[in-house]
Structure 1
Amino acid sequence: MKLLQQPVLHVEARVKSNRDGIIVRTDLIRDEITQWLIDNFVVLSLGQEIKSFEGLKEPHAQALESILITECTGGDLESGAYRLQNVQLDVQAYQLRTHLDQERSHHILHDEELVDNVEDLGTTKVLILPSTELDGLWESLQYDQPLQSTLLRAITRMVSFSARKLDKWTINWNRLILLWGPPGTGKTSLCRGLSQKLAIRLGKHYPQSKLVEINAHSLGSKYFGESGKLVSKAFESIELLLEEEEDSFVCVFVDEIETLAARRERALSSKEPFDAVRAVNALLTGLDRLKHHHNVIVICTSNLVTALDQAFLDRVDIKQFVPHLSNKTIYGIYKECLEELSWRGIIEGASFDVFQVKPEDPQTALQYVEQPARFLMLPMFEEMLLNYQIFPNAIPKQLADAASASVVSNRSRVEDITAGA
């Protein structure tokens, strides 16, 4: 099967915030940047950030904060650098929405709007995307496998397909994604970061985007028969939002979905079996109604996938397991955190090295040296394995030991949860 197009090089152009008095049409600046890149660059590299815009027409040059080359999708190209003649540029211009923008929007749906003034419940929050609140979250996530890019590509492709009005009876998509795995693996952060990235990536299709976070625990009621009603009203509110803003992309996020989608055969043995069954039925009905809207996806997380109702699992389009991290990845996270603390002046800087006592004689012993420095500079994991393993008191080795201890602790927790399930 041949590709329908060239590999796509994704570019994110960040426009300065509203507080700087910048108001621009992102569609116009997108086209301008695309042509400017073609005219001024032969090769672009992943991770390359451009902050000088000489030659770009005003007022767009003044409005831009940065241009970032994020990833390349499609084709067989695996290089980190790409000749522009071999790729298709996908430039997305966006402006982060500040806390003040969120307040002005008046789109925080309080519990009384969702549940007819039932007391003691949480809120369903609607966040305009992309938001300063989620800025940097996606980049901070680290996994052993490329979970982020895999999910982003798959969901972007499916949403783009739905915009082409495919026959729903031939290609059925329920718009439901499930991230499951043991607790503490960053599923919640991954969902929020994913919604932010989707808002940017889908900017050409949807000029506005929103994240709707449903507090699953707030939809459970102590009153008999109320849980199903609360779930129904929550989805009715979301459907109303979708109908009122058809040009907006809405990402619905439900954390710990097992609270609402527990297996009904187990619920029948509980104290209030019919109330639990009604809640699951209301959830399934709500999901079935949402799938008819082109501008929505639903992302859920679960720590206990075996506890989920089979009818819910049958509706899930993408099931992504999120495992615990390896000691290498945990070491990298620790390294990044400590270096950030040093950069901010919270902890002292230091550098580390291992060298031979007599450099001219390769047979002499190795010596570990720790020296004061302006900032903390820890070795990469591979270098730590190569040079620091024989020095148990070395800071890099102690950090690696802490990472290994975290892996053991996580495995023990998983075993305890599995045994109690």
Structure 2
Amino acid sequence: MDNVSSSILTFNELTELNLSIPDYQRPYVWELKQIKMLLKDIENTKDGALLGSIILHEIKRDGKTIYEVIDGQQRLTTIKLILMVLSEYKIVMENHNGYSNYLSNVSFFHKISQDNIKNNYEYIKNYLSNEDKAKDFLEKLENTQFIIVATTKADDAFIFFDNTNSKGKKLENYDLIKAFHLQAKQERHKDLQNANARYFESVINADKDNINKFLNQILNFTRKTIKQEHERTKWWSDDLIFDEFCKENLSGQSSCDYGIISDFANGVEFFEYFRKFYEMLKIIKQTDFYQKLNYLDGTGYLQNALCMCMVVFMDRFKSGNFDKMMRFATRIIYTNRLVGKSVRWESTMGSSEKIIRAIFVNNYESKIYESLDEIARECYAYEQEKIAENQIDGGKRKDYKELCKDYLNEEFKKYGILGHYVG
């Protein structure tokens, strides 16, 4: 690519670049494990050893050339902390004006960043505990080198973006997706960019363990189910998920709204899409009915399958009978809680596929229920057969049968839904 250059820079040359860490980057997440590795790498440096690659996006701003860090911010920030410690011994002041230009305008508003900066700084300060050790360490740091990949196009920078920093923490899918869409619109929508960055981070902080599940196991699988393009063995691989949510679409122009399977222009539209379906998911999980099922799913497959069906329904039938659909979907999906010793992914996803397709292909709500009624009757016959074969009745399976007798089958009956066979 003509707009991409690569070179090997010494540490001194690197610090002369006007480096910037964009707001859309993830927080500074390195902890002591990664700090110890980097310190050891530098200390063992001989003859200009490489400290990994740095990917930069070259831009012009106010007549100046600025290099936005796309990959490498964790190492570069840690080196900034090292220089801050070294400056206390005055030895760094003799070199290149104390490296005063290095990450001089970078700020860290995120609490995760601030906490890690404080902890890591204290560790580095104790590690470089005297002036002789600090001086020797600076000499070794100055002998290090970096592979620099720089491009004038942000899209090309993300092509080179490595999912794993050198000996560092693997980037989560939400880190990659967030960065892709925030960088795509930063010039036109700076205020909105910052607001979306804060919203996304607030969601991650509040629900970090579930965000990847939401993107991977709910939105991604639902989209591929409707489009009939998923492979069961690969549907949540990292590459496929990134490709699904980070497509180049119409050079940033808006496209038609096709609901959950919509494509989106880079940037603004993705975050509107994400917020819309994430808020739907929160509503589903807050319902009393969902809460009664919450403890009965050891693997999470049943809950994910139920949520997939419900977000499709809520999106497609905005004034539809939420309570009835919630119970119909539960009745069909939770057959898998009754019929075996454990819940199987394949059968659970197979059940959700049938429901999703029924919702998506029908333009009238009544037609959906006709289709689901047929599936429920098939489930009832299947339950009779399998429960007769398998008399083991412990754990969550037993708990679910009790819930059916005490509550669920009555709820299904209220909405004209054939209940579970419980023996």
TM-score (norm. length: structure 1): 0.24
User: Which protein shows a greater Rg?
Assistant: 2
From the two aligned structures, give the one with the greater helix fraction. 2
